[in-house]
Amino acid sequence: MTVTDDELLRRSLSDALISRVVEMIRSEGLAPGARLPAARVLAQRFAVATPTIREALRQLQATGAIDIRHGSGMYVNAALDRVVIANPNLPTLDADQLVELLDARLLVEPYLAGLAARHRSPASTAALRRSLDAAEQHLNGDDARLHEANMAFHRAVATASGHRILHEVLDSLLSVHAGEQREILQIFDDRSRDHEEHRAVLAAIEAGSEERARRLMRRHLEDVADVVARRLSTNEEIKEG
């Protein structure tokens, strides 16, 4: 498909507007949660048509920089200053990619768990305990709530690590592939064991044991990856048979 000059001009204008809106947010010190002016007000400010500014705002929303709430307004998101941004348009992962997703987490999360133990604080360990307490309430009930609590624990470990870039990497993996993460929970299908392993990681972090926290997180993810790989292999054999 050929890109016309008009389309290129629209893209260039949209990119310029995105930069100007971000510059406005930063120069005016608008913190996360701050409300932005209405689209028509921004259009007047930047001397463009309202549909043009709306397109730029939709692109900012897609990257998580702002939040557009219908009937309420537009608000600054904490993701405005993120370095790593999740792609919201990825397709569903196939079986091999599902295993690769766990491999990627294996490379990142043990290191983050060790850092969380090194930098532990009353606030960070309290957040970890809250997420596991929430998970415990749903071990034999609502899988959706259990999944949310489990992912909250992994995100809390990343937050406690103090490593902002790897925190964003992990958050992007968990956010973009939320459906695949829920599928992993279904395949693993040992909620009590999963929870006990999370508790062991928390205990190591609270004790300030970096090596133990890394080892336990690695073992936890390896257990999950092994079960998932074997279940997927079995399912494939059944299909072929």
What is the pLDDT, as a whole number, of residue 212? 98
User: How far is it, in rounded angstroms, from Cα 105 to Cα 225?
Assistant: 10
The span from the CA of 113 to the CA of 214, in Å, is 5
Domain co-membership, 29 together with 109: no
Task: Kindly report the CATH number assigned to the domain that includes residue 225.
Answer: 1.20.120.530
Per-residue model confidence (pLDDT) at position 238: 45
25 and 140 together in one domain: no
Domain match, 134 and 60 both: no
How many domains would you assign to the chain? 2
pLDDT digits (tens, 9 = 90+) for 29-79: 998 889 999 999 999 999 998 988 998 898 888 777 888 988 889 999 877
Q: How far is Cα 24 from Cα 147, in angstroms, rounded to an integer?
A: 38
Determine the average pLDDT of the residues in 76-88.
Answer: 68
**Greatest Cα pair distance in the chain:** 65
pLDDT of residue 8: 44
My answer on whether 73 and 187 are in the same domain is no
pLDDT tens for each residue of 197-232: 999 999 999 999 999 999 999 999 998 888 777 776
| Alpha helix positions (H), the chain | 5-27, 39-46, 50-62, 95-118, 122-136, 143-161, 164-176, 178-188, 191-207, 210-240
Point out the least confidently predicted range of 105-109, 146-150, 214-218. Answer: 146-150
Do 23 and 75 share a domain, yes or no? yes
Looking at the predicted structure, is the pLDDT value of residue 164 above 60?
A: yes
- 185 neighbors 149 (Cβ within 8 angstroms): no
* Structural domain span for residue 75: 5-81
Residue 163 within a domain: yes
Residue finishing a domain among 56, 81, 106: 81
Within this chain, do residues 44 and 99 fall inside the same structural domain, yes or no? no
* Same domain as 226, residue 108: yes
- The pTM of the full predicted model, rounded to 2 decimals, is 0.67
Average pLDDT in the 129-145 region?
87
119 phi/psi in degrees, rounded to 5: -105, 20
Both 102 and 199 in a single domain? yes
Mean pLDDT of the chain: 83
User: What pLDDT shows up at residue 225?
Assistant: 82
The answer as to whether 88 is a domain residue is no
Q: What is the pLDDT of residue 5?
A: 45
